[in-house]
Structure 1
Amino acid sequence: MQDHNHILALPSSKLLVSGVACGYFVHQYVKRVEVDRHPLSILSIVVAAPFVLAFGLRHLGKYEGYLLAYQSALMVESCAVLSLWMNTLIYRAFSHPLKEFPGPFGAKLSKFWSLKQVIDSKVRWYQVVGELKNKYGDYVRTGPRELVIFDPEAIVPILGFNSKTRKGPFYGAMEQSLHTTRDHDFHKMRRKVWDLAFKQTLADYGPSIEEFTDSLLARVASSGGKPLALNDLCIHYSYDVMSALAFGDSTRFLEGKSTKTATKILDNIREGIVAVGALLHVPWILTVVESISFAGPMMEFNRWSAEQVDKRSQMKNPRPDIMGHLLEHTEDTAAGRRLLNADSRVIIGAGSDTTASALTVLFVLLATNPSYQKKLRDEVEIIFANSTYNSAKPQVLLDGIINEALRLYPPVTFLSQRVTPAEGLTIGKVHIPPDTVVSVGTFSIHHDARNFLRPDEFIPERWSSQPDLILNKSAFIPFSVGAYNCPGRGLAMMELRSVISRTVQEFDISTSDMHEFDTRGFFDGIKDHFTSGVPRCEMVFQKR
């Protein structure tokens, strides 16, 4: 019988060399593809590989016992994985096409560097990248294949309608919807449906919005001038509007008649977007979370949103709404229903949290800049006196205040990812290599003196009587720009105009601790929860 003891030495020589070579050749492949889009498949391969290799070695007669073959196979795989890691780190640090771009050394090696910065900054990534800009300039390498760009000239080439970039890996980590799809042709087709929904029904939304503003003012009046939790007021308003205009049935938070399920879902969403704000830097983890959403808060949210779609599809003679139009223009198939359910979650998130954070910021800005309350009140009282009020119609000072709030503290601080095309992308004298993930820092762009003079000051007149304070109007991108801009911009502006104009007309607004309120600390405390996480505060509304 063959003596198999000498085989024990084999993994340390030929098989281990094979493992090292395997790691090298795997790296040559994976550096060209987005392997992080398939984490569960990769995990399955890693788990199965030793068993397959052990079976092959046993079949070739190399080992008498399967356990010995498995142990050797596991050792070979470990060597291959170690080789892959070493090749990857060396390539990223010294040979990557982005090696000439400045940035922290840790960022060149792994996106876990960014995740650590998010955690250390208490989920304020937009502030981290602002510091990186000050240190490294307009083009900063923040990941192995990622650049964050602050150059104003980059906005149109990256985000514009004629841009050749495509959406980044973060979007591919989640279910396909209008917002998350990376398929340009699919997005173009689906976006036409959404745009038509808003175009045909926007005029019908005005009365509904005013009804909810009535409810908000009634709730404010019931406080009797005592401090009111501002964040709850704004999120409840935005969720009531969203649910009614999207699904034809209000969640009734403002009236205090919401169901326990709706309240729980709202709490889950608030907690979930905190996780998204961190994990968007490692999208493969989001993919795993999405894949196991058959349990826990994500499952509850998915089930609830699907129920809203089903309820809406069964309504008789409903008022015009967004989902009704989407139902009408989506095939009644399993794929169509999945798309509707995914789009419903886009409506719930994008149609409520953003409006709520913008409203909260607006109230705080008005409370801490009381002179603008009087100026705005003079404008809106003339409008109401002449019976020309219409929340869909722009107003000079009102829109200036809203735009300035959106510029200073955009409701979405997330840096929208794009990927450069096969030929790369040239911006001025800077050439960005192909397949690079690029992001434009919205918050930093809005606070850049090359775009807006006195960028950190609240000056609503820059949008009307002082246009010289705006040097680059294309740098104002709170709703993004280009093909992927926000389809609900018109609706959001109607909500903001309605609430702010009517509240200022009826109430004097102030913070509950006017003499101690730390305005700078409050706004510096805004977190990057994908949408902006505005610090909790109380507000006093005194009836005029």
Structure 2
Amino acid sequence: MGLVSVLNEKSRAQTWQTLGWLLQLSWQHLLYFHPLFKFPGSWYAAGYGHQTLKALHDKYGEVVRVAPDKLSFSSATAWKDIYAQRKSGPNFIKDHKFYTTDDEQSHAFSPKALLEEDIVLKYADMLMVAIREESAKGSLYFNDCYNWVTFDVLGELSFGEPFGSVEARRPDEWIDTVLQMVVFIAWYSALYKLHPVFSSLYSYLIPPFVRKATVSHVTQSKAKILSRMEGGEREDGRKDFYSYIFELRKEMGLHEWHMAAYSNAMIIAGSETTATVMSALTYHLCRLPAIYDKLKQEVRSRYKSGNEITSLSATFPYLTAAIHEILRLLPPIPFGMPRIVPPGGDTVDEMFIPGGTTVSVHAWSLTHSDKNLKDPDKFIPERWLDPDNTDQREASNPFLLRPRACIRQNMAWMEMRILIAKMAFFDYELVDDNLDWERDSLAFILWQKPELWTKVISRNVD
């Protein structure tokens, strides 16, 4: 037994040495003999934070090699070359490691299918009541407030019932688990980009409480789907997300775990992104009272209370400019949305890129570059209203370009317009005067928001 043990230990040591040697050879080959070798980039580039990637673009230019087979672009031309419908030749291919639900979700979120203003108004009005009542008790944690309403809207549009967050005034356990998982998915992605072998370490990084929560989350997801399936068509005749998914279930060969994955992806992308944008906008309005005064005046001069606001009445020019500006300053997704160059290669920003290369535009680098905008790190809604403004506003495409645009942008715009217009009947100020949103935001798969605590005063117009 002793000899076997020694041999086993020796064998394991040799295995690890061999593995390390192979990884080193593999990495050296990818670095120096890969078709993308000519493109500049940091030698350790394997997918980093938004600020690090911008620093690389500032140093190397508008195209940077961020991994052995991946290029990041930072130019307005690249938006069109990568994401738009191409006049000739095949479109760039979506990376299916990131996109698995587009066809199904495009049915469910087409403008005619689920543009349900009454649902948004219901939960927005409930949130206004909650803010009024809770602010009388002390300062408010606005990150939670926006998550309550956006998740409840998506819950009703997905499962036919809300999560109950606005009414309970606390996040649902299902939602909490989803948001916790985002960080660990980012860890897995980073390990995989170093080398697929390293992704096996992922299971050792997950804390026990997250494993337990994940099991609970999967169980709850399946229960929600089964409950929705058993419920059949809604009595009010309203179509929700799963009305369309059920119609496609047999045709697409979907299983329960497919539908659970769809619901997770849809609710994370559809709710957390809007809530993050709303939190960031609230921060900047608190920081810049002169801008908030303009927005309040635009809304309050036309309406006496938030109860009068609808999606049509919320199409104010300055409010719309403020949304454009916060979407530029804080693109909803902190990383570039990957596309794969078709076989045979193609041109991006007048450069030939080999087929099979993963390419993307890093929006944050592009919209924070002084080559494209004056004072790019400042929140200036007026840049979207001045016809003589020389900023390259086309550099900002937070929802990508048609026909590949975010399938939920119509809903997102409606939610943001309604919520911001109704919020204009409150005055608020930051509790933590040292808070810096750009400095304190962390970029994983989604933004990890800094804590936004505010003091709130209701201001209905007499």
Q: TM-score range by the shorter chain?
A: 0.7 to 0.9
The 5 A counterparts of 1:72-471 are 81=19, 84-107=22-45, 111=46, 114=47, 118=48, 125-162=49-86, 164-168=91-95, 170-171=97-98, 177-179=100-102, 187=103, 190=104, 192-196=106-110, 198-202=111-115, 205-222=116-133, 223-224=135-136, 226-256=138-168, 263-283=172-192, 284=196, 296-315=212-231, 316-318=234-236, 319-331=238-250, 335-384=254-303, 389-391=309-311, 394-466=315-387, 468-471=389-392
Tell me the residue number matched to 1:49: none
Tell me the residue number matched to 2:412: 492
Identify the range of structure 1 (350-359 vs 94-103) with the bigger mean alpha-carbon deviation: 94-103
Contact conserved, 2:147 with 2:275, CA < 8 A, in 1?
yes
- Percent same amino acid at aligned positions? 24
Contact conserved, 1:327 with 1:340, CA < 8 A, in 2?
no
Distance 1:140 1:311, change over 3 A: same
Contact conserved, 1:147 with 1:439, CA < 8 A, in 2?
yes
C-alpha deviation, 1:338, in angstroms? 3.9
Q: Which amino acid aligns with 2:456?
A: F
Contact conserved, 2:109 with 2:241, CA < 8 A, in 1?
no
TM-score normalised by L of structure 1: 0.72
Q: Which amino acid aligns with 2:430?
A: T
Deviations 1:125-145 (A, max 9, x none): 011101111222222122111
Contact conserved, 1:277 with 1:530, CA < 8 A, in 2?
yes
Q: Which amino acid aligns with 2:439?
A: D
Give the whole-Å Cα distance in 1 for the aligned partners of 2:452 and 2:458.
20
Distance 1:72 1:322, change over 3 A: closer
Contact conserved, 1:247 with 1:324, CA < 8 A, in 2?
no
Distance 1:373 1:192, change over 3 A: closer
Per chain length, whose mean CA-contact separation is higher, i.e. which structure has more relative contact order (CA < 8 Å, sep 6+)?
2
Give the whole-Å Cα distance in 2 for the aligned partners of 1:75 and 1:536.
46
Q: SS at the partner of 1:177?
A: coil
Indicate the structure (1 or 2) with the bigger Cα radius of gyration. Answer: 1
Deviations 1:258-298 (A, max 9, x none): 6xxx73322222221112233323445779979x9x96333
Give the whole-Å Cα distance in 2 for the aligned partners of 1:507 and 1:367.
11
Q: SS at the partner of 2:360?
A: strand
Give the whole-Å Cα distance in 2 for the aligned partners of 1:85 and 1:336.
37
Give the whole-Å Cα distance in 1 for the aligned partners of 2:418 and 2:211.
39
Q: Which amino acid aligns with 1:164?
A: N
C-alpha deviation, 1:82, in angstroms? 6.0
Task: Tell me the matched-pair count.
Answer: 439
Question: RMSD in angstroms over aligned alpha carbons?
Answer: 3.4
Give the whole-Å Cα distance in 1 for the aligned partners of 2:78 and 2:167.
46
Contact conserved, 1:277 with 1:528, CA < 8 A, in 2?
no
Tell me the residue number matched to 1:530: 445
Deviations 1:509-537 (A, max 9, x none): 21124xxx235x33211111211111012
Q: Give unpaired runs (5+ residues) of structure 1.
A: 1-65, 119-124, 180-186
Distance 1:359 1:72, change over 3 A: closer
Q: Which amino acid aligns with 1:152?
A: A
Q: Which amino acid aligns with 1:216?
A: L
Give the whole-Å Cα distance in 1 for the aligned partners of 2:357 and 2:453.
44
Give the whole-Å Cα distance in 2 for the aligned partners of 1:70 and 1:518.
57
Deviations 1:212-267 (A, max 9, x none): 11111111111227311111111122211221222121112122276xxx733222
Q: SS at the partner of 1:339?
A: helix
Give the whole-Å Cα distance in 1 for the aligned partners of 2:92 and 2:409.
23
TM-score normalised by L of structure 2: 0.84
Contact conserved, 2:279 with 2:452, CA < 8 A, in 1?
no
Give the whole-Å Cα distance in 1 for the aligned partners of 2:397 and 2:339.
15
Contact conserved, 1:170 with 1:417, CA < 8 A, in 2?
no
Tell me the residue number matched to 1:34: none
Q: Give unpaired runs (5+ residues) of structure 2.
A: none
Give the whole-Å Cα distance in 2 for the aligned partners of 1:287 and 1:159.
33
Give the whole-Å Cα distance in 2 for the aligned partners of 1:314 and 1:274.
33
Deviations 1:320-363 (A, max 9, x none): 32222332343288625443322211222112111110110111
Contact conserved, 1:383 with 1:389, CA < 8 A, in 2?
no
Hey, which of these two has a bigger chunk of helix by percent?
Answer: 1
Give the whole-Å Cα distance in 1 for the aligned partners of 2:301 and 2:58.
46
Give the whole-Å Cα distance in 1 for the aligned partners of 2:97 and 2:157.
28
Distance 1:311 1:364, change over 3 A: same
Q: Does 1:503 align with 2:430?
A: no
Q: Which amino acid aligns with 2:279?
A: T
Distance 1:214 1:536, change over 3 A: same
Q: SS at the partner of 1:510?
A: strand
Give the whole-Å Cα distance in 2 for the aligned partners of 1:288 and 1:170.
19
Q: Which amino acid aligns with 1:402?
A: I
Structure 1: 4+ residue segments shifted above 6 A: 69-80, 285-290, 385-388
